[in-house]
């Protein structure tokens, strides 16, 4: 009965695996999962397995075929996917067949992969080759620990990923093919393609060696400004690791599932945005500039205001120049800038043209609506943009809910009914509204232009651009009286942003766009 109970428990776990196999019409893996769950037997021949993660060579008489399944450690993958945009580099420590490295590299992330067991490293290399990733993934045939040493590995017959370190052995007995090298991450850093601006997601699957790996990475952990470590263990069982990490940085901890938790290094925030629409706009700008450039890119943030966007872009390691004509805003941006690759200056775009410098991406966020002649700024931006560069533009929708129901009426009152405007301002203050913005400390933030989608297309065309991407901002959360409630509950703000994505872009309160120079 115990045997049947264990089999039933395994089949429950494998239920998600079966759906993945069916998706790729992989009936052989379904059969092998059932065989392993019920009788503990593995398949008797080498074969290829296809999944959302990639294509994998799986060894006979092993559980390799399970690692290749996207739903193996499903919660871990969903957790990674949720936080992926915050990082640009993946360290796979104890990579086994390379399933996570292949998955991350196929999504465009820089991967460093460590696997000390020779038989596992051999299949890892084969899988990188199968997925055309040998030139994209930096793989190393050694493991990480607290010091450099040669060790032997006790490898389980079927589960090759569960390799235990055995230090009591004779390294001259090379007939045993499961001996390998371990060294500290700090000691290996000079030969690794890592730099101080990398935002690192590190996954540890080292069968009890977690503490040793972290001790050998002390300087790396202290110096890495943005770091998340996923550890295959439970938080309650790893109080020593938690104590260790807390000595080297400000970490928070999240349980992912019953076998894995995440240690997330907290860095001093340089971005002051808290509203859902501001964060959504920042995410769009960072993602689009990252997608269309590389880490050596030069980025210009025109009308940078308080520097929020410039600092968010600078976290990726790119060289960023933020310019604004408000000395007050630039002073504030400079005061809180922690990045050596981010610069701020009180300049208009015209003076930059004389410098003769070109930019791979230019950001113009919430600027054009404040200008009498936006076409003049776009003409100057075009001269500063490289031929294949991108211009990321965000503006309010002049025909959207916020501009129609809030901005236009309020500005009319301010201009034509100053006494009524003064009374309204006092009422707003009592209700908790402030006439300030985290975007800029500039004193005049009146809207002059009220762009429609059609007007933006025409403006772009006239100045030699084409708009390749449109995305909605928010919908009605900034419209009074709804704003009285939404500004207090972030969940309502996020819901409003989601609703805007489901509706036609023209119904939203703002536009996010990617412009490119027209060919010919």
Same domain, 39 and 120: no
In a domain, 114, yes or no: yes
DSSP 518: P
Q: How many angstroms from the chain centroid is the CA of residue 293?
A: 15
Q: Locate tokens 């290399």: which residue?
A: 125
Task: Please tell me the predicted confidence (pLDDT) of residue 161.
Answer: 61
Model confidence pLDDT, tens digit, residues 243-278: 889 888 888 899 998 889 999 987 655 566 778 888
Can you give the pTM of this predicted structure?
0.56
Model confidence pLDDT, tens digit, residues 272-303: 677 888 889 999 998 899 888 887 889 999 99
Same domain, 142 and 225: yes
In a domain, 450, yes or no: yes
Same domain, 280 and 388: yes
Domain count, the chain: 3
Same domain, 93 and 28: no
Task: Please tell me the predicted confidence (pLDDT) of residue 235.
Answer: 64
In a domain, 49, yes or no: no
In a domain, 465, yes or no: yes
Distance, CA of 135 to CA of 276 (rounded, Å): 39
In a domain, 288, yes or no: yes
Instruction: Note down the domain range covering 111.
Output: 73-265
Task: Please tell me the predicted confidence (pLDDT) of residue 240.
Answer: 82
In a domain, 363, yes or no: yes
In a domain, 290, yes or no: yes
Same domain, 291 and 405: yes
Per the structure block, which two tokens stand in for 122?
Answer: 């051999």
Same domain, 493 and 416: yes
In a domain, 57, yes or no: no
**Beta carbons of 288 and 312 less than 8 angstroms apart:** no
Distance, CA of 453 to CA of 477 (rounded, Å): 21
Same domain, 166 and 79: yes
Same domain, 224 and 304: no
Instruction: Report the CATH number that the domain containing residue 480 is assigned in CATH.
Output: 3.40.50.150
Same domain, 291 and 436: yes
Domain end (from 234, 265, 296):
265
Same domain, 432 and 287: yes
Same domain, 371 and 328: yes
Angle, alpha carbons 8-13-15 (nearest 5°):
90
Same domain, 283 and 232: no
- pLDDT means per 10 residues, the chain with 520 residues, are 54 64 70 64 74 87 80 88 86 93 93 92 94 92 90 70 62 58 91 83 89 92 88 74 88 89 75 81 91 87 92 85 92 85 91 89 93 93 93 94 82 72 63 50 68 94 95 88 77 91 94 89
Domain end (from 265, 300, 331):
265
Distance, CA of 297 to CA of 128 (rounded, Å): 28
**Beta carbons of 514 and 467 less than 8 angstroms apart:** yes
Q: How many angstroms from the chain centroid is the CA of residue 281?
A: 15
Task: Please tell me the predicted confidence (pLDDT) of residue 433.
Answer: 46
Domain end (from 221, 237, 265):
265
């Amino acid at each position: 009965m115990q045997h049947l109970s264990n089999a039933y428990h395994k089949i429950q776990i494998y239920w998600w695996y079966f759906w993945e196999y069916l998706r790729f019409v992989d009936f052989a893996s379904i059969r092998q999962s059932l065989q392993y769950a019920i009788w503990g037997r593995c398949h008797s021949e080498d074969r290829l397995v296809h999944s959302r993660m990639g294509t994998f060579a799986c060894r006979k008489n092993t559980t390799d075929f399970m690692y290749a399944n996207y739903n193996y450690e499903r919660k871990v993958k969903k957790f990674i996917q949720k936080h992926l945009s915050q990082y640009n580099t993946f360290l796979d420590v104890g990579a086994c067949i390379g399933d996570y490295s292949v998955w991350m590299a196929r999504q465009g992330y820089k991967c460093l992969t460590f696997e000390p067991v020779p038989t596992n490293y051999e299949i890892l290399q084969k899988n990188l080759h199968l997925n055309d990733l040998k030139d994209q993934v930096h793989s190393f045939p050694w493991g990480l620990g607290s010091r450099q040493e040669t060790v032997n590995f006790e490898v389980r017959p079927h589960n090759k990923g569960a390799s235990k370190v055995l230090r009591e052995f004779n390294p001259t007995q090379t007939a045993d093919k499961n001996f390998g090298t371990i060294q500290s991450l700090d000691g290996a850093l000079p030969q690794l393609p890592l730099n101080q601006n990398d935002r690192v997601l590190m996954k540890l699957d080292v069968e009890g060696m977690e503490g040793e790996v972290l001790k050998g990475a002390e300087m790396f952990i202290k110096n890495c400004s943005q770091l998340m470590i996923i550890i295959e263990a439970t938080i309650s069982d790893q109080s020593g690791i938690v104590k260790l990490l807390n000595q080297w940085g400000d970490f928070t901890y999240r349980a992912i599932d019953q076998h894995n938790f995440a240690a997330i290094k907290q860095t001093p925030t340089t971005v002051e945005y808290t509203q859902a629409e501001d964060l959504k706009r920042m995410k769009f700008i960072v993602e689009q500039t990252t997608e269309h450039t590389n880490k050596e890119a030069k980025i210009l943030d025109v009308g940078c205001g308080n520097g929020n966007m410039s600092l968010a872009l600078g976290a990726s390691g790119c060289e960023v120049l933020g310019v604004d004509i408000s000395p007050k805003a630039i002073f504030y941006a400079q005061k809180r800038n922690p990045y050596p690759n981010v610069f701020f200056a009180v300049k208009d775009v015209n003076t930059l043209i004389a410098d003769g410098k070109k930019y791979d991406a230019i950001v113009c966020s919430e600027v054009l609506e404040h200008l009498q002649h936006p076409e003049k700024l776009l003409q100057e931006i075009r001269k500063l943009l490289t031929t294949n560069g991108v211009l990321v533009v965000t503006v309010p929708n002049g025909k959207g809910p916020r501009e129609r129901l809030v901005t236009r009426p309020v500005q009319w009152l301010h201009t034509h009914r100053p006494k009524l405007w003064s009374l309204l301002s006092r009422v707003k203050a009592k209700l908790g509204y402030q006439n300030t913005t985290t975007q800029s400390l500039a004193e005049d933030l009146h809207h002059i232009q009220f762009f429609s989608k059609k007007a933006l297309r025409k403006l772009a065309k006239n100045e030699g651009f084409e708009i390749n991407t449109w995305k909605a901002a928010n919908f009605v959360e900034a419209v009074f009286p709804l704003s009285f409630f939404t500004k207090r509950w972030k969940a309502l703000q996020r819901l409003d942003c989601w609703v805007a994505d489901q509706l036609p872009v023209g119904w939203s309160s703002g536009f996010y766009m990617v412009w490119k120079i027209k060919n010919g």
